[in-house]
Structure 1
Amino acid sequence: MGMAFWVYILKCTDDSYDTGHTDNLEMRVAEHQAGEIPGCYTHQRRPVSLVFSQPCVTREEVLAVERQIKGWSRAKKEAMAAGNWTEVSRLSKSKVVRPSTSSGRTAK
């Protein structure tokens, strides 16, 4: 049996990333590119480019992988998109908590 589902990462024109899943990768990327999904994250951030995709066997697996990737840092997503598994592993092991660069508060 072939792979039934795909998890993917799209890079948007504003250099942000969108992670999703589908059972038809080529069609889904084309839908994002054409703006056929009103209200979706990529709609106002086109054009998009597919930077990563991974096949998954079950719906449960693809949902779990999507949820995991959505929780990753930008650096980790970029390392994975580049195929730099050493860096992905290093970033996974990093326990350093870095303060946010935008706390939402203004300096006094």
Structure 2
Amino acid sequence: MEMNKHYFYVVECKDGTYYAGYTTDIDQRMKKHNEGKGAKYTRGRGPITLVFAQEFETKEEAMRAEYRFKRLKRPEKERLLAMESEERYVAAKKLSTKL
């Protein structure tokens, strides 16, 4: 039996705001967000762009990462995303294992 993958992800909305969430299927979740059927926050703010994704072994770990990210102030979020972009993350294809 294949184990589920759990992801924490961050998208940027067309208005420049960030939305962070949890999913087990990034492609499907991005599709839902862009169709206006994702989170209430992203409705009307599309199209959205995936800027970060991170894979975890458990749902709890992914949701803890989401919680920590949401508690950051905007400048801290931008620094973290810039650091991840430069060091480990390219075009939503390479998923890191640490936040």
The TM-score range, normalised by the shorter chain, is 0.7 to 0.9
1:45 is displaced (CA, Å) by 0.6
State, as a whole percentage, how many aligned pairs show the same letter: 31
1:50 partner letter: L
Are 1:30 and 2:31 counterparts? yes
Equivalent residue, structure 2, for 1:90: none
Equivalent residue, structure 2, for 1:59: 59
Structure whose alpha-carbon radius of gyration is higher: 1
Unpaired runs of at least 5, structure 1: 86-108
Provide the alpha-carbon RMSD of the alignment. Answer: 2.0
Contact 1:18 1:42 (8 Å CA) reproduced: yes
Q: How far apart are the structure 1 equivalents of 2:31 and 2:17?
A: 18
TM-score, length basis structure 1: 0.69
- What's the CA shift string for 1:19-66, capped at 9, x where partnerless? 0000001110111011123x6100011111011111111011011111
1:51-90 correspondence to structure 2 within 5 Å: 51-83=51-83
Could you list the structure 1 runs, at least 4 aligned residues long, displaced by more than 3 angstroms after superposition: none
